[in-house]
């Protein structure tokens, strides 16, 4: 199973259990649906209800990205793994302030663990910033509500970003501050693009479980977003995406030529840059580690689904939730 990324304009068609992609220049690509887990559309695409019905049958999600390459929405087939019991218990935990705070704290503890894991590889240069984050970590257990916890998490991020240049060994790139809307430099462009990929990866894994992706704990549940994806993504952004960005820059796989500027203010990865980025992202997601509890090789992508299963066990009272903390 793999994710399929489409960058060229065209049309998606169905014939039996096969996907046909017809590009505007007449090129045809054939992909058996059984090999596709998610479709990512970065271009203008036409498709009909017959194609959508095939995706419904095979449980394939489509994720759409806007002109700038950032996530804009998804088509999710009707969930087959549903449980009214699990959903009620999930809602009970978000409605109970103490239970909600506990789960939100777990997400923040995990994020801090992986942030410190990245920084400790540069211990000598970042010792002061590491100590500052350790002080914030002690405040997590003292937070009385989620807004206070979000404030602590925000301070950790700001401190972490101060140390990014020490983790980058390429003089062509320099980070000043986090700028999201819009990103104004290459590193911000990579962070924003990478966060979109992590968000959709988490959403796809949530879909395979009984969890409701709109009921969240750290981020406020919203009516127009899958906010649980944002919660779980906090665990994996420093673990997967930040390390990926540092590697691409330090190995010079991504260079200045892989970016473009729009109106001299908005910096984006160009098509070639996105393809390089996505290829390495997929390689990273397929990378496996020996799981201590399962006693078998487990991919980074499946680690995301394991977090979903751990949350379900917590909701139904089987086992207290402890967010992932990389041990390898």
Tokens in use for 114? 């992986």
Residues of the chain with CATH 1.20.120.920: 84-315
223 pLDDT above the threshold of 70: no
Backbone φ/ψ region at 318: left (φ over 0), alpha (ψ -120 to 50), beta: alpha
Whether the Cβ atoms of residue 51 and residue 41 lie closer than 8 Å to each other: no
Q: How much is the average pLDDT of 53-76?
A: 89
| 241-254 confidence digits (pLDDT tens) | 999 999 999 999 99
Count the Cβ atoms, other than its own, within 10 Å of residue 44: 11
Helix (H, G, I), strand (E, B) or coil at 114: helix
- At the fourth CATH level, the homologous superfamily of domain 84-315 is CRISPR-associated endonuclease Cas1, C-terminal domain (1.20.120.920)
Q: Which of 292, 295, 298 is nearest to 322 (CA)?
A: 292
Residues of the chain with CATH 3.100.10.20: 2-75
Q: Which residues are annotated as a binding site for Mn(2+)?
A: 153, 219, 234
Over pLDDT 70: what percentage of the chain? 99
Place of tokens 């690509």: 29
Q: Which residues share a beta bridge with 18? A: 15, 32
| 256-309 confidence digits (pLDDT tens) | 999 999 877 889 999 999 999 999 999 999 999 999 889 899 999 999 999 999
Q: Which residues are annotated as a binding site?
A: 153, 219, 234
220 pLDDT above the threshold of 80: yes
Q: How much is the average pLDDT of 13-39?
A: 87
**Pairwise CA distance, residues 137 & 106, whole Å:** 11
Query: Is the CATH number 3.100.10.20 carried by domain 2-75?
Result: yes
Q: What is the DSSP letter of 255?
A: -
3-state helix, strand, coil in the chain (%, to 5): 50, 15, 30
Q: How much is the average pLDDT of 181-186?
A: 87
Q: Which of 193, 180, 183, 172 is nearest to 245 (CA)?
A: 193
């Amino acid at each position: 199973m793999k994710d399929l990324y489409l960058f060229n304009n065209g049309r998606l068609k169905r014939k039996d259990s096969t996907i046909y992609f017809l590009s505007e220049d007449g090129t045809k690509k054939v992909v058996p649906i059984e090999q596709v887990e998610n479709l990512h559309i970065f271009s203008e695409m036409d498709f009909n209800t017959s194609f959508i019905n095939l995706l419904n049958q095979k449980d394939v999600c489509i994720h759409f990205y806007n002109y700038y390459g950032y996530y804009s929405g998804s088509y999710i087939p009707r969930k087959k793994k549903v449980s009214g019991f699990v959903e009620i218990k999930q809602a009970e935990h978000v409605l109970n302030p103490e239970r909600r705070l506990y789960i939100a704290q777990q997400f923040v503890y995990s994020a801090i663990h992986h942030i410190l894991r990245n920084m400790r590889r540069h211990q000598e240069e970042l010792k002061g910033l590491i100590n500052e984050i350790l002080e914030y970590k002690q405040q997590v257990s003292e937070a009385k509500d989620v807004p206070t916890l979000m404030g602590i998490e925000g301070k950790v991020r700001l401190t972490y970003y101060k140390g990014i240049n020490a983790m980058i060994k390429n003089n062509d790139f320099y980070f000043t501050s986090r700028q999201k809307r819009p990103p104004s430099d290459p590193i911000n462009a990579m962070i924003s693009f990478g966060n979109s990929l992590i968000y959709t990866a988490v959403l796809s894994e949530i879909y395979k479980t009984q969890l409701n992706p709109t009921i969240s704990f750290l981020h406020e549940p919203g009516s127009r977003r899958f906010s649980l994806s944002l919660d779980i993504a906090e665990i994996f952004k420093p673990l997967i995406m930040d390390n990926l960005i540092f590697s691409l820059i330090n190995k010079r796989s991504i260079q200045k030529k892989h970016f473009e500027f729009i109106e001299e203010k908005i910096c984006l990865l160009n098509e070639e840059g996105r393809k390089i980025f996505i290829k390495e992202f997929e390689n990273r997601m397929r990378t496996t580690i020996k799981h201590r509890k399962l006693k078998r090789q487990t991919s980074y992508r499946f680690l995301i689904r394991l977090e979903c299963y751990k949350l379900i066990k917590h909701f139904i009272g089987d086992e207290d939730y402890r967010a992932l903390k990389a041990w390898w």
